Amino acid sequence: MLDLWRGRWYKRAMQRETEIIQINAIEPEPAIIERAARLLCAGEMVVFPTETVYGLGANALDARASERIFAAKERPFSDPLISHIADESELELLVGEASEAAQKLAHAFWPGPLTLILPAGPRVPGLITAGLPSVAVRMPRHPVALALIRAAGFPIAAPSANRFMHVSPTTAQHAYTDLRGRVPLILDGGPCAVGVESTILDLCAAVPTILRPGGISLEELRSVLPETRPPAPRKARFEHEAQKAPGQMLIHYAPATPAFLFEGTPAAMRAAMLAEVVRRQQQGERVGVLVADEDIATFHESGACVYSLGSTPEQIATRLFAGLRVLEESGAQIILCRNFEERGLGMAIRDRLLKATGGRVIRVDG
């Protein structure tokens, strides 16, 4: 019966108009926020910016409203949603008990790109936790997101505003491309500042463990909780298995175009990628290349479609998803990506590249 309702709602949703409204990212206009909040209170969805990526939001305490997120994204119910709050006091709406460690981390990093896995309280619908006894919670740093949560008066469940497993949206246009006709309103607050999703830290584990690296680094977390563990080695996860946190699939954040990740020294990666460009072009394929500023000269006359992510980890993170989308839309038949140093934001960057390429890694010597 649930699948039948989901299918009927999905067909109706595809017939709706999607409106994009520009909103001031620093001082959101109250009238626009109020309009969006009314939609949420009516059980609807709204796309809004956060500092990480754009989110597809609905009432986190309303199972029916949150279910619309799964239908719009074509997301399996085994993949839980992150609930967003605007004040630490709102934790009591979602969490059975906030530990001392949770309070320390909240004081240190909220608002900001850190999601905590905590014991779920009785008001949390099992739908957004994938039926597990834990819930993912964060407080975003973006003024529009905070204003919207406060105006709605309840936590907002909000995964990334894209089709399930596709490249995450860092602009309103990215969200519109994926969700046009599936959501009534997109608030356009400009490009996202961080560009990769929040770090997810499991505080229900015996030892605090990162489930997904993101905008808060392992080093930063260890400055507050020295015992924090990095992510465990990746293993196969399947759609029907309940996940403790989003972003755990082997393939995620992925363009429709097949992509490969090169690992090695910068010089070795450049040489191997250029050789692969030449080989693919000799076969008549159009090639896209995702690199850093320092690599551009190598591919200047290669004939490849080149997208540079910048030179610093912050620039690379901010432009990563946009770069994958640009190369996907360029008509490239293959995308070649280079790896980056794993310190700080580099861990999150590599995680996204591994999942965008489905673990197709080419290791080169040099």
The domain spans of the chain are 2-224, 259-363
pLDDT at 234 over 80: no
The pair of three-digit structure tokens given for residue 271, joined into one six-digit string: 């040489």
Query: Is the pLDDT at 49 greater than 60, yes or no?
Result: yes
pLDDT surpasses 60 at 10? no
pLDDT surpasses 70 at 42: yes
* Of 10, 69, 77, nearest in space to 40 by CA: 69
What's the mean pLDDT in 209-220?
97
Name 261's bridge partners: 337, 361
262 membership: H or E segment, kind and range: strand 259-263
| pLDDT of 23 higher than 90 | yes
5: Cα separation from own chain's centroid: 27
Please provide the average confidence, as pLDDT, over all residues in the chain: 93
Query: Which pLDDT band, with edges at 50, 70 and 90, does 1 fall under?
Result: very low
**Residue-level pLDDT at 6:** 47
CB 56 within 8 A of CB 69: yes
In this prediction, residues 45-49 reach a mean pLDDT of 98
- Could you report the per-residue pLDDT of 243-293, keeping only the tens digit for each? 888 888 888 999 999 999 999 999 999 999 999 999 999 999 999 999 999
Mark 116-128 as b/e (b = at least 16 C-beta within 10 Å).
bbbbbeeebbebb
CA distance 32 to 49: 13
| pLDDT given at position 4 | 38
Average pLDDT over every residue of 300-323: 97
Percent of the chain clearing pLDDT 70 (strictly above): 94
More confident residue, 149 or 240: 149
293-304 pLDDT tens trace: 999 999 999 999
Q: Which residues on neighbouring strands pair with residue 337, listed in sequence order?
A: 261, 290
* Mean of pLDDT values over 199-207: 97
CATH of domain 259-363: 3.40.50.11030
C-alpha–C-alpha distance, residues 237 and 257, integer Å: 22
Where residue 96 falls among pLDDT bands split at 50, 70, 90?
confident
Which string of DSSP letters, residue by residue, matches 32-83?
A: HHHHHHHHHHTT--EEE--SSS-EEEEETT-HHHHHHHHHHHT--TTS--EE
| pLDDT at position 350 over 50 | yes
* CATH tag for 2-224 (out of 3.40.50.11810, 3.90.870.10, 1.10.3720.10, 1.10.1060.10): 3.90.870.10
* pLDDT above 70 for 328: yes
Confidence band of 15 (pLDDT split at 50, 70, 90)? low
Give the global pTM: 0.93
From CA 159, how far away is CA 262, in angstroms rounded?
A: 29
pLDDT at 106: 97
CB atoms within 10 A of CB 166: 23
pLDDT band at 16 (very low <50, low <70, confident <90, very high): confident
pLDDT value at residue 5: 39
Does the pLDDT of residue 185 top 80, yes or no? yes
Does pLDDT of 240 surpass 80? no
Lowest mean pLDDT among 87-101, 108-122, 174-188: 87-101
pLDDT at 131 over 70: yes
pLDDT for the residue numbered 100: 94
Look at residue 155 and tell me whether its pLDDT is greater than 90. yes
